[in-house]
């Protein structure tokens, strides 16, 4: 009999992508194979994101679309997982509007997937198993990672910061760090398998280790990980300015392996808004931190997240955000319209979402325009430099061009010699052109890495 097939659609952040890899690993152990499209799957899992309303609308829309497929193939199973499952209204909504869903589970019990699928076969109604809080950290789950040389490794789950706009502390629970030894063991085995670009993950990696006994910090962990042979690049995401320590800055500055990309979400430039957001730092503290980072790491790539239109944001508050962006001169910024999330403190405030949508959008446009100009200028200074680029694949738009990234996560398009397959190789590239969102250049030397044992499918060489 042919093996059953699964298909997973993942929304949201890298934590969710990693969770999907763990679901895939368990399914593979149960004898499932990956399907390349929904129509050939016996099981579809929708791994959802709740961070903004738009992410939720996409997932709800997708679940709705799958109704037709379920009608055509009633034996197909449909599961909803991830952050939306953890929200109070989701199960009721699904029961009312999406009764074709067979299983709902959350972020705290993905290790129980085999048992849950078994339960689905024993019940006619929707099986719902969402845990309110997390249990102990579960180690040694099987996982099916992406092909290539890049791997995500969880180091801390959850978040204790409770920013007033954010749903994550509710959907992902309190902070739980993994033991250093477990992380080192996992990275050692990844390096042996040929993974060379390791990204350690957490909602707030900077608070890593405070809950361990003895307590350790992210600097200690990164120093352990950079000792591992075979690890070429070491990255981390995501950070909180409050816990970004001087010691960590020193560790990054002194390291060849740890990325010189610092992503420091500022969210807003005015102290009044930062206070209402419960960010626990001031504009002045943040700017001091950025100064420290720039002094210690002169070639740093700085990026941030900014929310526009938070409740109470006045034109003056917003101008302080623009002013901060002009002062810091980020390489790039991820900018978002404020989206009230049910269950968060800000969503309970009077007026709920008082900045009118057209005002929010107009502010967002001004912010993006400013940032694009700065990104373009920041990229110009790389022209003429030779950067090591990890080639990830062919450019989507032009098969005569490779697409890759620098250690600082800048996208680089590289002119391609069809006689040479450079996928998953680390290649020196001379930068010849710089745009707002990417750099372009030419191969300027032999790949520094051996052919990876984890190669993807061979490309047809044209």
Contact partner at residue 379 from ligand SF4, ligand 5AD, none, CB < 5 to 8 Å by partner kind: none
Residue 426 annotated in ligand binding: no
Toward ligand 5AD, which CB reaches closer, 32 or 338?
Answer: 338
**Residue 434 is labelled as binding a ligand:** no
Q: Was 166 annotated as part of a binding site?
A: yes
For ligand 5AD, the nearest residue by Cβ is 305
For the segment 80-109, give every residue that binds ligand SF4 (CB under 6 A): 83
Categorise residue 356: left if φ over 0, alpha if ψ from -120 to 50, beta otherwise.
Answer: beta
Q: Confirm or deny that 163 is annotated as ligand binding.
A: yes
- CA-angle at 302, arms to 296 and 305, nearest 5°: 135
16 binds, among ligand 5AD, ligand SF4, none (CB under 5 to 8 A by kind): ligand SF4
Whole-Å CA distances, 125 to 101, 168, 377: 9, 29, 57
Q: From CA 80, how far away is CA 31, in angstroms rounded?
A: 21
Member of 18, 100, 161, 172 binding ligand SF4 (CB under 6 A) = 172
Instruction: Please provide residue 212's backbone torsions phi and psi, each rounded to the nearest 5 degrees.
Output: -90, 165
Is 446 one of the annotated binding-site residues? no
Ranges within 299-328 binding ligand 5AD (CB under 6 A): 305, 307
Q: 214 preceded by cis ω (within 30°)?
A: yes
Tell me if 147 sits within 8 A of 456, measured CB to CB: yes
State in angstroms the smallest separation of the CB of 129 from ligand 5AD.
Answer: 26
Which residue, 310, 302, 266, is CA-closest to 284? Answer: 266
Q: Interface with ligand SF4 by CB under 6 A: which range of 163-171, 415-423, 424-432, 450-458?
A: 163-171
Taking residues 41 to 60 in sequence order and writing x for each that binds ligand SF4 by CB under 6 A, - otherwise, the string is: --------xxx---------
Q: Is residue 172 close enough to count as binding ligand 5AD by CB under 6 A?
A: no
Binding partner of 50, given ligand SF4, ligand 5AD, none, CB within 5-8 angstroms per partner class:
ligand SF4
Distance CA 74, CA 375 (A): 50
Which of ligand SF4, ligand 5AD, none does residue 310 bind to, with CB < 5 to 8 Å depending on kind? none
Residue 12 contact, options ligand SF4, ligand 5AD, none, Cβ 5-8 Å cut-off depending on partner type: ligand SF4
The whole-angstrom separation of Cα 33 and Cα 43 is: 10
| Contact (CB, 8 A) for 426 and 449 | yes
DSSP string across 121-173: HH-SSPEEE--SS--SPPP-----PPSSSEEEEE-EE------TT--HHHHH-
- Residue closer to ligand SF4, measured from CB, 13 or 46: 13
Beta strands in 243-385 (DSSP E): 261-263, 301-308, 332-337
User: Which residues are known binding-site members for [4Fe-4S] cluster?
Assistant: 13, 49, 83, 159, 163, 166
Which residues bind to ligand SF4, rule: CB under 6 A? 12-13, 15-16, 49-51, 83, 167-168, 171-172
User: Which residues are known binding-site members?
Assistant: 13, 49, 83, 159, 163, 166
Which residues bind to ligand 5AD, rule: CB under 6 A? 51-52, 165-166, 265, 267, 305, 307, 336, 338-339, 341
């Amino acid at each position: 009999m042919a093996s059953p097939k699964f298909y997973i659609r993942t929304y949201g952040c890298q934590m969710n992508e990693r969770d999907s890899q763990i679901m895939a690993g368990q399914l593979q152990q149960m004898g499932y194979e990956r399907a390349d499209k929904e129509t050939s799957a016996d099981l579809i899992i929708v791994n959802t994101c709740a961070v903004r309303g738009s992410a939720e609308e996409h997932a709800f829309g997708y679940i709705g679309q799958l109704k037709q497929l379920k009608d055509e193939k009633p034996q197909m199973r449909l599961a909803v997982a991830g952050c939306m499952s953890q929200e109070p209204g989701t199960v009721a909504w699904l029961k009312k509007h999406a009764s074709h869903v067979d299983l709902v589970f959350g972020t705290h019990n993905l290790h129980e997937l085999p048992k849950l699928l078994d339960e689905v076969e024993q019940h006619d109604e929707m099986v719902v198993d969402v845990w309110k809080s997390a249990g102990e950290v579960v180690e040694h789950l099987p996982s099916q990672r992406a092909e290539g040389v890049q791997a995500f490794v969880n180091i801390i789950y959850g978040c204790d910061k409770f920013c007033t706009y954010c749903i994550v502390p509710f959907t992902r629970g309190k902070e739980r760090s993994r033991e250093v030894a477990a992380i080192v063991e996992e990275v050692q085995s990844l390096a042996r398998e040929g993974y060379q670009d390791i990204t350690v993950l957490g909602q707030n990696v900077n608070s890593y280790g405070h809950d361990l006994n003895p307590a350790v910090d992210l600097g200690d962990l990164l120093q352990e990980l950079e000792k591992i042979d075979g690890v070429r690049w070491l990255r981390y995401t995501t950070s909180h300015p409050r816990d970004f320590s001087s010691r960590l800055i020193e560790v990054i500055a002194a390291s060849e392996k740890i990325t010189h990309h610092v992503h420091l979400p500022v969210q807003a430039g005015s102290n009044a808004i930062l206070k209402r957001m419960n960010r626990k730092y001031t504009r002045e503290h943040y700017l001091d931190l950025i100064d420290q980072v720039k002094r210690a790491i002169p070639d740093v790539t700085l990026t941030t997240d900014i929310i526009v239109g938070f409740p109470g944001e006045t034109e003056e508050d917003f101008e302080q955000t623009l002013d901060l962006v002009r002062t810091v001169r980020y390489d790039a910024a991820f900018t978002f319209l404020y989206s009230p999330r049910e269950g968060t403190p800000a969503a309970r405030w009077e007026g709920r979402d008082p900045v009118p949508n057209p005002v929010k959008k107009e502010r967002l446009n001004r912010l993006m325009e400013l940032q694009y100009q700065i990104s373009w200028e920041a990229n110009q200074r790389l022209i003429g430099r030779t950067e090591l680029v990890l080639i990830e694949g062919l450019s989507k738009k032009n098969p005569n061009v490779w697409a890759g990234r620098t250690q600082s996560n800048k996208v680089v398009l590289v002119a391609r010699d069809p006689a040479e397959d450079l996928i998953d190789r680390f290649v020196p590239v001379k930068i010849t052109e710089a745009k707002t969102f990417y750099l372009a250049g030419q191969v300027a030397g032999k790949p520094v890495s051996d052919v990876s044992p984890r190669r993807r499918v061979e490309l047809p060489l044209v």
